């Protein structure tokens, strides 16, 4: 989907987010099967998202998009929390995940691994620092953003 249209959708739905005390975590417009889906992932500062909040936000967004919708074709609207295992896409997502357990998929292997799991200990504009455990030793590893294919918070088992 055109980034310009996504930016328009973000602007249009912002009042619905504000009035429900949530912020936009991510927005996606994807085709799944025969259906187009506008997926709006919401979150709250220092609180969890429950089904009632998702329903309220979905209804508010739906009313706004019914009046002023920049998407020309039919689609389904999904509003949900990003969940416990949430993707890390923006610099702010990474900053918010400091101290959390994360899974990092690499473009080029580091320490002979394509995937690393550990605690995100710091973030700067160029790289992250990941505290990982190899056998019985804990070590800190710097990973440049340019070497990250995918990243997400994950549950420590």
The torsion defined by the Cα of 89, 48, 41 and 157, in degrees rounded to 10, comes to 50
Print pLDDT tens along the chain (157 aa). 567 888 999 999 999 999 999 999 999 998 999 999 999 999 998 788 899 999 999 999 999 999 988 998 899 999 999 888 999 989 999 999 999 999 999 999 988 889 999 999 999 999 999 999 988 899 999 999 999 999 999 998 7
What fold is seen in the domain 91-153?
A: SH3 type barrels. (2.30.30)
- DSSP one-letter code for 140: E
Q: Write down the domain spans for the chain.
A: 3-80, 91-153
* Phi then psi dihedrals of residue 112, to 5 deg: 70, 15
pTM of the model: 0.77
3-80 folds as GMP Synthetase; Chain A, domain 3 (3.30.300)
């Amino acid at each position: 989907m055109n980034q310009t249209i996504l930016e328009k959708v973000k602007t249009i739905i912002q009042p619905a987010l504000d009035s429900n005390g949530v912020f936009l975590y991510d927005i996606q417009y994807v085709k799944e099967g025969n259906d187009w889906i506008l997926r709006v992932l919401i979150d709250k500062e220092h609180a969890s998202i429950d089904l009632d909040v998702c329903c309220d936000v979905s209804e508010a967004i739906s009313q706004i998009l019914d009046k002023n919708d920049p998407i020309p074709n039919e689609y389904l609207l999904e509003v949900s929390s990003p969940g416990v295992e949430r993707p890390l896409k923006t610099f702010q997502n990474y900053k918010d995940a400091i101290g959390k357990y994360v899974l990092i998929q690499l473009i080029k292997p580091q320490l002979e691994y394509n995937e690393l799991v550990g605690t995100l200990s710091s973030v700067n504009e160029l790289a992250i620092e990941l505290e990982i455990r190899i056998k019985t030793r804990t070590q800190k590893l710097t990973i440049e953003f340019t070497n990250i294919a995918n990243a997400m918070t994950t549950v420590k088992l």
